[in-house]
Amino acid sequence: MKTSNFDPLSVEIFNRQLKKVTVVVLVVFGLLVLRLWFLQVLNGSTYRVKSENNRIRLEDIPPFRGLLFDYKGGVLVDNRPSYDLYVIPEEVQDRKKLLQTLKDLVNLDPAKVKPKLENLAQASPFRPVCLKKDITRNELAVIETHRFNLSGIMIKVRPQRHYIWGNLASHLLGYLGEIDESQLKSGKYPYNKAGDLIGKSGVELEWQENLTGRRGGEQAEVDAAGRKIRVISKKPPLPGANVYLTIHKELQALAEKALSDKRGAVVALDPNNGKVLALASSPSFNPNLFIQGIDRETWNRIISSKGFPLQNRALSGQYPPGSIFKIVVALAGLEEGLVDPEEEVYCNGVFTLGRGVYHCWKKHGHGMVDLHRALVESCDVYFYKLGIKLGVDKIARYAKRFGLSKPTGFDAGQEKGGFMPTSRWKLKKFGVPWQPGETVSVSIGQSFVLVTPIQMATFISALYNGGTLYKPQVTHYVEKAPGQKAQKFVPRPTGKWDLNPRNMALVKKALVGVVNEPHGTGWRARLKGITVAGKTGTAQVIALEREEDFENEADVPFSMRDHAWFIAVAPADRPRIAVAVVVEHGGHGGKAAAPIAREVVEAYLSKDRPSRPGEKT
Amino acid sequence: MFDRRLIQNFDWILLLVLLLIAGVSIMNLYSATYAIRDVGGGRVFLKHIYWFLIGFGVFFLMTTFNYHALERLAYPAYFLSLALLALVFVTGKAASGSQRWLAVGSLSFQPSELAKLALLMVLAKFFSDRGGYQESRLRDLWQPFILIGIPCALILKEPDLGTAILLIFVSLSLILFVRVHWKSLLILALSAISLAPFIWFNLKEYQRMRVLAFLRPDMDPLGSGYHINQSKIAIGSGLFWGKGLLKGTQTRLHFLPEQHTDFAFSVLAEEWGFIGSGFLLLAYLFLILWGLNIAKNSKDKFGSMIAIGIVALIFWQVTINVGMVTGLLPVVGIPLPLFSYGGSSLVTTMAALGILMNISMRRFMFQ
Our answer to whether residue A323 is catalytic in this structure is yes
The verdict on residue B366 lying in a domain is no
Instruction: Determine, for residues A127 and B274 on separate chains, whether the beta-carbon distance falls below 8 Å.
Output: no
Comparing A226 with A290, the larger pLDDT belongs to: A290
Residues of B in contact with A17 (CB under 8 A): 133, 177-179
Percentage of chain A lying above the pLDDT 70 cut = 89
Residue B66 lies in a domain: yes
Count CB atoms within 10 A of the CB of residue A370.
Answer: 18
Structural domains in chain A plus CATH codes = 59-245 (3.90.1310.10), 249-301+311-477+487-605 (3.40.710.10)
Backbone angles phi, psi at A378, to 5 degrees: 55, 55
- pLDDT tens digits for B278-307? 999 999 999 999 999 999 988 888 899 999
Three-state secondary structure call for residue B51: helix
Mean pLDDT for A361-370 is 87
**A68-69 and A243-245 beta bridge pairing:** parallel
What's the pLDDT band for A547 if we cut at 50, 70, 90?
A: very low
Torsion of CA B159, B160, B162, B167, to 10 degrees: -110
A545: which residues sit within 8 A by CB, 6+ positions away? Answer: none
Q: How confident is the model at residue A125 (pLDDT cuts 50, 70, 90)?
A: low
Of A31, A39, A224, the CB nearest to B255: A224
Chain B contact present for A414, CB below 8 A: no
Report phi then psi at A492, rounded to 5: -120, 105
Bridge pairing between strands A216-222 and A197-199: unpaired
Of the two residues B299 and A16, the one the predictor is more confident about is: A16
Does residue B324 sit within a domain? yes
Indicate the pLDDT class of residue A179, thresholds 50, 70 and 90.
confident
Residue B27's pLDDT is: 92
More confident residue, B277 or A48: B277
- For residue range B100-114, what is the model confidence (pLDDT) as tens digits? 666 665 567 788 888
DSSP 3-state of A442: helix
Q: Which residues of B touch A14 (CB under 8 A)?
A: 133, 296, 304
- pLDDT averaged over every residue in chain B: 84
Give which of A425, A421, A466, A426 is closest to A448, Cα–Cα: A421
Q: Which of B70, B208, B98 is nearest to B156 (CA)?
A: B98
Whole-number Å distance between alpha carbons of B353 and B60: 10
* pLDDT score at A150: 78
Please count the CA atoms within 13 angstroms of the CA of A246 that sit on its side-chain side: 24
Determine, for residues B237 and A47 on separate chains, whether the beta-carbon distance falls below 8 Å. Answer: yes
**Mean pLDDT over residues B248-269, rounded?**
80
Q: Choose between A275 and A2: higher pLDDT.
A: A275
Query: Considering only CA atoms, which of A600, A457, A598 is closest in space to residue A532?
Result: A598
Q: Is the Cβ–Cβ distance between B30 and B45 less than 8 Å?
A: yes
- Tens digits of per-residue pLDDT, A57-102? 667 788 899 999 999 999 999 999 888 888 877 777 777 888 888 8
Tell me which chain B residues have a C-beta less than 8 angstroms from the C-beta of A32: 281, 319, 322-323, 326, 328
User: If pLDDT is split at 50, 70 and 90, which confidence band does A548 have?
Assistant: very low
Instruction: Read off the pLDDT of residues A377-436 as tens digits, 9 standing for 90 and up.
Output: 999 999 999 999 999 999 999 999 999 999 999 999 889 999 999 999 989 988 889 888
Instruction: Read off the pLDDT band of A557 (50, 70, 90).
Output: low
Mean pLDDT of A346-355: 87
Q: In this structure, which amino acid lies at residue B359? A: I
> pLDDT (tens digit, 9 = 90+) per residue, B307-366?
999 999 999 999 999 999 998 888 888 899 999 988 889 999 999 999 999 999 888 766
Q: How many CA atoms lie within 13 A of A62 on its CB side?
A: 19
Q: What is the mean pLDDT of chain A?
A: 85
Considering the domain boundaries, does residue B63 fall inside one? yes
Phi-psi label, residue A38: left if phi above 0, alpha if psi -120 to 50, beta otherwise:
alpha
Smallest CA–CA distance from A51 into chain B, residue: B233
Residues in chain B, total: 367
Read off the pLDDT of each residue in B251-278 and give the average, rounded to a whole number: 85
Q: Give chain B positions within 8 Å (CB) of A153.
A: none
- Minimal CA–CA distance to A368: which of A358, A381, A352? A381
For A316-340, the pLDDT digits (tens) are 989 999 999 999 999 999 999 998 8
Residue B280 lies in domain: 4-361
| Section A308-323 average pLDDT | 88
Residue A228 pLDDT > 60? yes
Query: Does pLDDT of B46 surpass 70?
Result: yes
pLDDT at A546: 43
* Inter-chain CB proximity B296 and A90 less than 8 Å: no
Query: What share of chain B has pLDDT > 90, as a percent?
Result: 34
Interchain contact, A224 vs B237, CB within 8 Å: no
A481 phi and psi angles, rounded to 5 deg: -120, 160
Whether B142 has a pLDDT exceeding 50, the answer reads yes
For residue range A493-539, list pLDDT tens digits in order: 999 999 999 999 999 999 999 999 988 999 999 998 899 999 999 98
Q: Is A118 on the interface with B (CB under 8 A)?
A: no
Interatomic CA distance for residues B273 and B276, integer angstroms: 5
Q: Rounded to whole angstroms, what are the CA distances from A362 to A338, A349, A379, A438, A543? A: 25, 6, 8, 20, 15
> Domain total for chain B?
1
Among A281, A282, A323, A447, the active-site one is A323
pLDDT, position A126:
63
What pLDDT is stored for residue B9 in this prediction?
79
Provide, as residue numbers in chain B, all residues whose Cβ is less than 8 Å from the Cβ of A47. Answer: 232-233, 235-237
| Range A352-377 average pLDDT | 88
Residue B197 falls within a domain, yes or no?
A: yes
pLDDT at B230: 82
Minimum Cα–Cα distance from B305: chain A residue: A14
Q: What is residue B218's predicted lDDT score, i.e. its pLDDT?
A: 56
Which one is predicted more confidently, B161 or A396?
A396
Q: How confident is the model at residue A609 (pLDDT cuts 50, 70, 90)?
A: very low
**Nearest-by-Cβ selection for A22 from B233, B289, B304:** B289
> Which whole-number Å values give the CA distances from A448 to A144, A422, A425, B66, in the listed order?
65, 10, 11, 112
CB half-sphere exposure, A544, CA atoms < 13 A:
19
Least confident of A2-6, A236-240, A363-367, A421-425: A2-6
Q: Is residue B367 part of a domain?
A: no
Share of chain B above pLDDT 70, in %: 85
Listing DSSP states for A332-394 in one string gives HHHHTT---TT--EEE-SEEEETTEEEE-SSTT--EEE-HHHHHHTT-HHHHHHHHHHH-HHH
Lowest model confidence (mean pLDDT) among A158-162, A562-566, B94-98:
B94-98
Report if residue B85 sits inside a domain: yes
Residue A48 has pLDDT above 90, yes or no: no
Q: Tell me if B326 and A32 make a contact (CB, 8 A cut-off).
A: yes
**Cα–Cα distance measured from residue A333 to residue A372, given in angstroms and rounded to the nearest whole number:** 13
How far is residue A259 CA from its own chain's centroid? 17
Computed from CA positions of residues B10, B11, B12, B18, in that sequence, does the dihedral angle turn out positive or negative?
negative
Count Cβ–Cβ pairs < 8 Å, chain A vs chain B. 156
Question: Which has more confidence, B197 or A212?
Answer: A212
Query: Which of B204-208, B262-266, B361-365 is modeled with the greatest confidence?
Result: B262-266
